[in-house]
Amino acid sequence: MKLSNSFVKTLRDAPKDETAKSAQFLIRAGFVHKELAGVYDFLPLGLRTLKKIEQIIREEMNKLGASEVQMSALQNPRLWEKTERWSNQKVDIWFKTALSAGGELGLAPTHEEPITEMMKTYIKSYKDLPVSVYQFQTKFRNELRAKSGIMRTREFLMKDLYSFSPDEETHNQFYHKVEQAYKTIYERVGLGDCTYQTFASGGIFSKFSHEFQTLIPVGEDTVYYNADKSIVLNEEVVLPEVLDELGIKKEELKSEQAAEVGNIFTLKYKYSEPLDLKFNDSEGEQKTVFMGCYGIGVSRVMGVIAEKFADDKGLVWPESVAPYKYYLAPIGEQANKIAAELEAAHPEDILLDDRNNRPGEKFADAELMGIPYRVVISDKTLAENKAEIKNRKSGETKLLTLDELKGILK
Amino acid sequence: MKLSNSFVKTLRDAPKDETAKSAQFLIRAGFVHKELAGVYDFLPLGLRTLKKIEQIIREEMNKLGASEVQMSALQNPRLWEKTERWSNQKVDIWFKTALSAGGELGLAPTHEEPITEMMKTYIKSYKDLPVSVYQFQTKFRNELRAKSGIMRTREFLMKDLYSFSPDEETHNQFYHKVEQAYKTIYERVGLGDCTYQTFASGGIFSKFSHEFQTLIPVGEDTVYYNADKSIVLNEEVVLPEVLDELGIKKEELKSEQAAEVGNIFTLKYKYSEPLDLKFNDSEGEQKTVFMGCYGIGVSRVMGVIAEKFADDKGLVWPESVAPYKYYLAPIGEQANKIAAELEAAHPEDILLDDRNNRPGEKFADAELMGIPYRVVISDKTLAENKAEIKNRKSGETKLLTLDELKGILK
């Protein structure tokens, strides 16, 4: 992409009420625009990164054999009344709205109820099970406070996966596969080293659920961990009986702040029972479907990546989710010509800074935007038929011949 | 894709309250699921078709040089009060909701206000103009009635493009390019022959706006047209002074029902003036930005395509938007083996019916789903080393050798 074609400009300042480092840089670098507290628009660079994270998650969901759908945001209270999740006393983050034609609707904060109801159309027999369904869908949550940029918002993109099994054993096999898929996802988006599967409260239906927590100083959660024993606990389950069961003492655990980047949950019959999702087993007996749900906040993961890797100069994107891999900054007429040819050949990989501004401004923008590699071509480098390539993360600089550069672009 | 991996089944009946033919078939064929009146979920086949239409539109928007963004659904009343579009008396399709932290929010039925406000951050000088920005985004409209399936819903996917120009002349050039892009889009999705650019009311700011109307018996609009003079008018502008201006008599016009599949609108200063979107011209003088907006309801277009081409056996998709191009129905053990190999080589093009059901059921599902080509491989066709291919639209059947079949799959 040519920067001269972009309507977005980097900004000197972020809104004063924006405290999270990631949000400040995402706004200043032109990835997002703040609509109101907890509500953001995605600008072209931000949308590209969001879609790259989405595509990585999609690929891993498809490998699980899950089918992609897209449910509505507008919700019928009738379903949520059956599971006792319509009342504001039970679920305090509903956005509700009046329908002109009469009655009230909700904006889905999650989708267990409608997906369970929908599956009643398609699940009749044990032959229809197991099955799993996922979506990328905008969730709405009426958070009282929103202060962590795109890490906690009132409207956000979520991947939610739901599994439907004939029994607990089949469920457990799938649940374990999702654990592995989630680990692969965090590795692929660059968070593998600092993200841990964590024991969390299972509510009243399961002993534990699992969260995936990324260690990060501004995280809203506190986790307790023991690296040697590979045990990580959410603060809420650091209780004598849990420690006993896991065979660990509280003194062996260190605490750290973390941000939740995913959760997986054995639902058992919590929704299938009240919503009456049943199947006939091989003996012809009616049984209730055993369910699980598995979430990843896509825009939240983007915020956590931004927060985790940003330095004092700006964002630092892992290659897999960077909007572009190369920031190409030509200096001089011949360099401009070569750069234009390279961009034309690789428009998806190269962000070409073809603006008429000073090299120092180009370099500062490259750093602020966090593009993994900055490539400078100038009369000086061209004298040796070379280009300079700088790694945003390590700061390491190398000279490449133009042929070597074309080679790595392929 | 293998049908045995799909959780969706075709249904014998559609909901009784569903009157539109397209909605009945889309539900029965497993493309959508009805959540409540005017609110639908997209199932895997439906989501594929929706995304194919979206991608065709995206490609044409990118050719215009427009940048893709994604704005929020949640809206700050403050902006809409400035343009006098917050009050329910002025805009009667708002969904409004209360924010826990205090105050009221709206769910965007369109995005002129927030995008105009956002552009104030980026448009400062004539050098920043012209510029155009688009998105694919879920719109919410509190329609009193919703009875046309996915052709008119309370929650729907829309492509909305906004243009920002320094003056009317520059705007007109872009407006004309969008007209051409829209024609290309309707041709590419298969509606080219039956979609007309139509004069419609321009409101108080422009003499006319343009709609794109697809002739279809169940359409909600009435258009008056004269094929020889290539003039099509929305009923609302069939007035003596308009007919005079266009040099046509009412007797020369025939009326027909049509569904609006897009509209383009010269906004002039309607939003930029109250929201104060200004720029410095080359003389340093402050001027107001000249705007246009251009919409296509993506899910609505999908509904119109379904409605337009469906016959008594089911849906009939144009190749460009069909979820899969080939419905492969093998009969017999050797055929199953060959079919499995073909599907594995072309999973994006082939929907393989590998279920253990009768050939008649497979054929009926192929027709209901509207996949452009049904390919049958059986012991009988294999005796001649051939496969039978049937065109869903024309009903024409041909025998191809397996090599010819592999050739067209490439």
- 3-state DSSP assignment of residue A278: strand
CB count within 10 Å of CB A89 equals 7
As a whole number of angstroms, the distance between CA A195 and CA A212 comes to 6
Give residue A196's pLDDT: 94
Contacts of A72 in chain B (CB under 8 A): 35, 39-41, 155
As a whole number of angstroms, the distance between CA B229 and CA B363 comes to 45
Contacts of A6 in chain B (CB under 8 A): 67
Q: Tell me whether B196 touches chain A (CB under 8 Å).
A: no
Q: Tell me whether B11 touches chain A (CB under 8 Å).
A: yes
Question: Which ipTM did the prediction report?
Answer: 0.96
Give residue A275's pLDDT: 98
Token pair in block for residue B97 = 């909701």
List the pLDDT tens digit at each of the 410 positions of chain B: 999 999 999 999 988 889 899 999 999 999 999 999 999 999 999 999 999 999 999 999 999 999 999 999 999 999 999 999 999 999 999 999 999 999 999 999 999 999 999 999 999 999 999 999 999 999 999 999 888 899 999 999 999 999 999 999 999 999 999 999 999 999 999 999 999 999 888 765 567 789 999 999 999 999 999 888 888 999 988 988 888 888 899 999 999 999 999 999 999 999 999 999 999 999 999 999 999 999 999 999 999 999 999 999 999 999 999 999 999 999 999 999 999 999 999 999 999 999 999 999 999 999 999 999 999 999 999 999 999 999 999 999 999 999 999 999 98
Contacts of A33 in chain B (CB under 8 A): 118, 121
- Cβ atoms of B164 and B129 closer than 8 Å: yes
| Minimal Cβ distance to A44: which of B9, B69, B100 | B69
Q: Tell me whether B205 touches chain A (CB under 8 Å).
A: no
Contact B68/A44, CB-based, under 8 Å?
yes
Q: What is the pLDDT of residues A302-355, one digit of tens each?
A: 999 999 999 999 999 999 999 999 999 999 999 999 999 999 999 999 999 999
Contact B96/A97, CB-based, under 8 Å?
yes
Contacts of B44 in chain A (CB under 8 A): 67-69
Give residue A206's pLDDT: 64
Among A17, A99, A145, A162, most B C-beta atoms within 10 A, so best to mutate, is A99
Residue of B nearest to A68 (CA): B44
Q: Tell me whether A36 touches chain B (CB under 8 Å).
A: yes
As a whole number of angstroms, the distance between CA B234 and CA B241 comes to 14
Which of B130, B137, B143 lies closest to B171, judged by CA? B130
Q: Tokens 């070379």: give the residue.
A: A386
Contacts of B74 in chain A (CB under 8 A): 35-36, 39, 140, 154-155
CA atoms within 13 A on the CB side of A177: 17
As a whole number of angstroms, the distance between CA A70 and CA A109 comes to 14
- Tell me, letter by letter, the H, E, C secondary structure of B143-190: CCCCCCHHHCCCEEEEEEEEEEECCHHHHHHHHHHHHHHHHHHHHHCC
- Min Cα distance B97 → chain A (Å) is 5
Radius of gyration of chain B (CA): 24
Instruction: Enumerate domains of chain A plus CATH numbers.
Output: 3-309 (3.30.930.10), 326-409 (3.40.50.800)
Residue of B nearest to A76 (CA): B36
As a whole number of angstroms, the distance between CA A56 and CA A389 comes to 27
Long-range contacts of B119-125 (CB under 8 A, 24+ apart): B119/A7, B119/B164, B119/B277, B119/B289, B120/B275, B120/B276, B120/B277, B121/A11, B121/A33, B122/A7, B122/A8, B122/A9, B123/A7, B123/B164, B123/B277, B123/B279, B123/B289, B124/B279, B124/B280, B125/B279, B125/B280
Contacts of B66 in chain A (CB under 8 A): none
- Cβ atoms of A109 and A74 closer than 8 Å: no
**Partner B, chain A 42-61, Cβ-Cβ below 8 Å:** 42-44, 47, 50
- Return the beta strands (E) in B166-307 as ranges: 195-201, 208-215, 221-226, 231-234, 254-268, 278-280, 286-288, 290-297
A121: DSSP letter: T
Q: Tell me whether B402 touches chain A (CB under 8 Å).
A: no
Among A2, A100, A117, A119, most B C-beta atoms within 10 A, so best to mutate, is A100
